[in-house]
Amino acid sequence: MAITEDEFKYCMGAWPSGVTIVTSRHGEKIHGMTVSDFTGASLCPPLAVVMCNRDSITTGMIADGKCFGVNILAANQHELSNRFASKKFEHIRFEGVDYDTAETGAPLIRGAVANLDCRLDATHEVGDHLIYVGLIQSARVESGDPLVYWKGRYRGLEADSSGEEG
């Protein structure tokens, strides 16, 4: 018998991850959402993958725009993470956010510890998510610590950045 959704979420919470904002562009429209399911996938060719819920707006924009940017958030960017995860702020996610436009057109957020610009290379269906494989066009790395997510809370690398116990 398969495990329940809650059991799965609880178990996955034990896996610490970085936090990214995955962005895309289709024509004049840009969008983005918070994504922790990101990893590098191949060195040669350089490929990265992100796992995107089929229902998310960003997911549809990546399919249409055939590109995505991955912005690996810095430790002080947890508010951006919340904004890009919240439906309440869906229409104002980029308001006041400094970003550059990558070669593909995807927004690359400034202040992130790293940015990747990807051209959509392949799409794989996996249950209620899509795995997007991107051919990396360019990468930029800045100094600073990354934001970490573990057991439903944002963390720093060495201590809980919120100052609370998990």
Ligand X SMILES: Cc1cc2nc3c(=O)[nH]c(=O)nc-3n(C[C@H](O)[C@H](O)[C@H](O)COP(=O)(O)O)c2cc1C
**Smaller CB separation from ligand X, 1 or 28:** 28
Burial classification of residue 153, based on how many CB atoms lie within 10 Å of its CB (0-12 exposed, 13-18 middle, 19 or more buried): middle
DSSP state of 147: P
Is position 52 an interface residue for ligand X (rule: CB under 6 A)? yes
Q: How far is the CB of 115 from ligand X (least distance, A)?
A: 17
Q: How far is the CB of 44 from ligand X (least distance, A)?
A: 25
Binding mask 18-37 for ligand X (x = CB under 6 A): -x-------------xxxxx
C-beta separation of 102 from 110 below 8 A: no
In this structure, the number of other CB atoms found within 10 A of the CB of residue 41 comes to: 16
**Smaller CB separation from ligand X, 1 or 154:** 154
d(CA 51, CA 36): 8
- Using CB under 6 A as the criterion, which residues of the chain lie in contact with ligand X when the complex forms? 19, 33-37, 51-53, 56-58, 81, 85, 87, 90, 149
